[in-house]
Structure 1
Amino acid sequence: MRYIARSLFARTALTLALAFIVFQAATFWVVYRTLIVPVAERSADDLAGLIVLSAQTWVELPPETRAAFESELARRHGLRLTTIDVGATAKAPRFAFRTQIEAALSRRVGHAIALRGVPGSTAAWLAIPVGGHDLRVGFFPDRYAVKPPLAAIAVVAVGAFLSLLTALFLVRRITVPLARAAQAASQVGAGELPDPLPETGPAELAELARRFNTMAAEVRELLDNRTTLLAGISHDLRTPMTRLQLNLEMLRDAPAPARIDRAVADLADMNRLITGYLALARTTQPEAKGRFDLAGLLEEVAADAGLPWAGAAPCEVEAGRLAVRRIVSNLVQNAQRYGGPSVELAIECADSAARVIVRDAGAGIPDDQLEKVFRPFYRLETSRSQATGGTGLGLAIVRQLAETNGWKVGLKNRATGGLEAVLEIPR
């Protein structure tokens, strides 16, 4: 119960409901003071004028016509005129705006008038001394009493009820998606991949769901990469460690320079593997952006890799220089390793984006595996030998660096043979 009272749904619904009720009450008070009370006072004054005028008319009429006048007055206006004492000694029945009627009668008559009642009757009576007669005037409050308070109360009640329903509806539309997001967040925190949140409803909630779904997929991909990374480490390090241990055991009995060289080579392989794993792990954070000439950077990469470079017009971009250099270097090394010696490095500089292109003349990659080669440890050559290929992390690092920094990288087979790798950097 305490959780429900502290929930956003309950608090927001209660706040809206109270606000609507206060608004309804304030509206009723304004209508009551500016409309109902003036109308009631006017009605009370009209009734008092009718009573006084009827009494004065009765006095001025001949005695033989007074009975007919009394009958017509009762039929048309519900007023009773008589000189007989009707026994109105009790308090008059309570009805709305009785005070206003007594005040109007007092003003008309010239002295205080208090309405009285007859036991067992619903009529209200008053005595008016006029023309030497003590006239008793009676009327039924149900005919003259105004009943707007009941109508106003009904309006306030219905308004409050509708306001509460509206508040509950609006708050539910907001809190239900938030509750789903909270539950999905707890699943993500537990390492699970929740079902995608519905990207519907108001624009803000739909955008929240869209961004959460993207975040959940990225977290899941990060966890998968971590698992794959740890599995790759345990798998790839086992072979050189086993060879190293074997060489060390054999060195006990027969020391030989060749075995020492093999042990050193195994250590170099392990160091290369660990360096690759650490490089992949560091690609999860974007590099700070800076403005530099992309054509000049490609000239440096081409010189380091021994590639011909015909030069290009300056092409300034705002990006992480080290990340760009690393991606291009990995693409060039990959092309040189698998695409043969004929590797070409080019640049296309447009207003919207700059494109770095690495072309080779190798055998290419089957179309159904152009995306798979970006997975960590995925290799078309399955021997995992350092002599025939790397660890399968080069293109994985390229893709991870590109996505982390908001760039695009892709592969496609060339019509003339070979592979073309393209890095696209928005300008």
Structure 2
Amino acid sequence: MKFLPRTLFGQLALALFAGLLVVQFVGLWLLLDDRGRLNYKLLSEYAAQRMGGIATVLDGAKPINRPSLAKALSVPPTTLSFALPWVEGKVDSSEDAQAFARQAAQQLEHPLTIQMLSLEPLDALMFVLHPEGVEKWKRHTQSHDGHAMPRTYVAQVRLRDGTVVSFHHVLPIPPTDLPYRVIALLVLLGLSVSALSLWAVRRLTHPLVHLADAASGLARNLNRPPLPENGPEEVRLAAQAFNAMQRDLKRLIDTRAQALSAVSHDLRLPITRMRLRLEADIDPALRTSIEHDLADMDTMIGHTLDFLRAGSHVEPVVPLQLDTLLDSVVEDMEELGATIERVGKTRSPVLARPHALRRCFANLLDNARLYGGGTITLSVEDSSSSVRVTITDNGPGINEADLEKVCEPYFRLEASRARHTGGTGLGLAIAKAIAEAHGGTLTLSCAPAQGLSATVELPR
């Protein structure tokens, strides 16, 4: 079933179109069948009425005038003859033949005996009695392609004076041409209903597309505008529930960020007091140890505040020359001893928050400088939809199982990449939060003998 559409809109449209197509074909078949049956019924009734009227005229005419009347009234598809005697034992007892006889009897002025004959035993007898007549009858009983027509009636009527008149009536060939006007009407109806159905299905499923996009982008941008609460009742309720969930998540994260920010800020006051007390006469070795611990605590608090501010939208978005920003960060890293190779340029400015984006690339380059051997490649790929910046080092890399974990806050590897550092485990988390706050992504990958690659993709 791989050829079936995968979207809800495609499946509903296919179901509606297939159902409509089947209904149209069945309706056309029923229409053609009913048309054939109606034509047959009308033609059969007309033939029976004509035969009854002719029999009434011949019954009231003088015997000497009957041959001339029969000749004049023998107009295709009805042929009359007085040559065939009354045939016994060859009556056609089928329902259609008997209905034909009853319809003819209703047109008689006086009650006359009517019998319907089967066609098989008549050809030889008719050829002996009336060879010209049977040839004429055979011509009428042949269709254009040479096959005998099934809708043929042979009837005999005994007049009041005992004269037997035989009728041979061939119903016309049912029309085989297609009713093009009816087909055109059905096609027009089908196209109209299909277009209306597609519009209705699209209108019903379009809010679901917005809901799916909002759900997939909620993790990257919690401050995105709420969904429009319109459409059918079920879709409107789903949009309302999603908007309520987004508000609750934003309130929860904001509350957590405010609490952590307040705690981190308040911790700096006792740290400052402790530093002032270190000015007293104490052992120099103890003072150095305490100052080192206080510096670590202050750095951890600063990084925590930076992480909490990384996903915020306080800084305005402006058109940014990304190449200039990257060159500035590269110069700073090279002053610290890194060797960086720049590859690629952007074609036009990007919309970004300059200070936040600078912090993102500074963290990634500093991470590559500390743990990647000092030799770094920074490449830029620009397209119409996004800008991709890849930072690759020559270090030992990271196990594939830990690539996602290292971007989590306060996660530090036990391997050599983190053992001898004083880091807090927030550098990559801050870079990822900044990239996602710009609607982009941060992806880490490790290729054999190439170290770690960090790719930041920013949408245009």
TM-score range, shorter chain: 0.3 to 0.5
**Bigger fraction of residues in helix:** 1
In the superposition, the TM-score normalised over structure 2's length comes to 0.41
